[in-house]
Amino acid sequence: MSEESSPATDASRAWHALVDPDELGSLHRTAELITLVQQRDWPIDPAVLWVALTRAEPLAAWLGRPDADLGPGAKVAIAQSEDASVGAQVVEWQPGGRILLEWRAPGEDVAWVDLAMEPVVAADSPRTRLRLSYVAADEAQVRSAAVAWLSFLDVLGEITGAVPVPPDSTPALRSIERMAIAAQVIESVPIQER
């Protein structure tokens, strides 16, 4: 059996098919900062997505348990596990369009998370483009964030109904599998100099 068609190679291809490198986004370096950009175009009304991005109950389903809704100038703690919370402060707020957060995760340098959405013209149904930008100075931190945000956006798409959940799949298990693969794939994504 050749290397090209061995069971191990076929299994590796199947696993890597779970993560399209484009889903992980692009990486850009400017001066001393690195920016991760991930984008999703979903068949969803912008108002539905805005609620999921700003209200405590839907945020808890995809990002972590916040202690309050997001709003202009809000400071929230987002519990992502029993022992770890991210501190987030709304730095910019454009209702129905954009949220810029100062993001303080335990053990990491400060980062900024920019969630921008816009309607996309589509004949068949309302569509919304969500563009996530994560900016920090540390390359390893940004690459790790790419994997985490891939998972967060997967779940966001599922809870809003923008992405169908495969009937034979457990979301948590699928997310763990995708994150494990994404952690390998992100290492090969080049950083584009600007």
Inform me whether the pLDDT recorded for 121 exceeds 70: yes
For residue 1, give Cα distances in angstroms to 14, 29, 138. 18, 43, 44
Which of 9-13, 26-30, 44-48, 66-70 shows the lowest mean pLDDT across its residues?
9-13
With H, G, I as helix, E, B as strand and everything else as coil, classify residue 125: coil
CATH number at residue 134: 3.30.530.20
- Radius of gyration over every alpha carbon of the chain, rounded to an integer in angstroms: 17
In a domain, 14, yes or no: no
Q: Identify the residue with better confidence: 5 or 114.
A: 114
Give the range of the structural domain holding residue 43, as residue numbers without chain letter: 21-193
Q: Identify the residue with better confidence: 1 or 17.
A: 17
Give me the amino acid identity at 168: D
In a domain, 78, yes or no: yes
Q: Domain tally for the chain? A: 1
Question: Is the alpha carbon torsion for 86, 87, 91, 96 positive or negative?
Answer: positive
How many CA atoms lie less than 13 Å away from 72 in the CB half-sphere?
A: 4
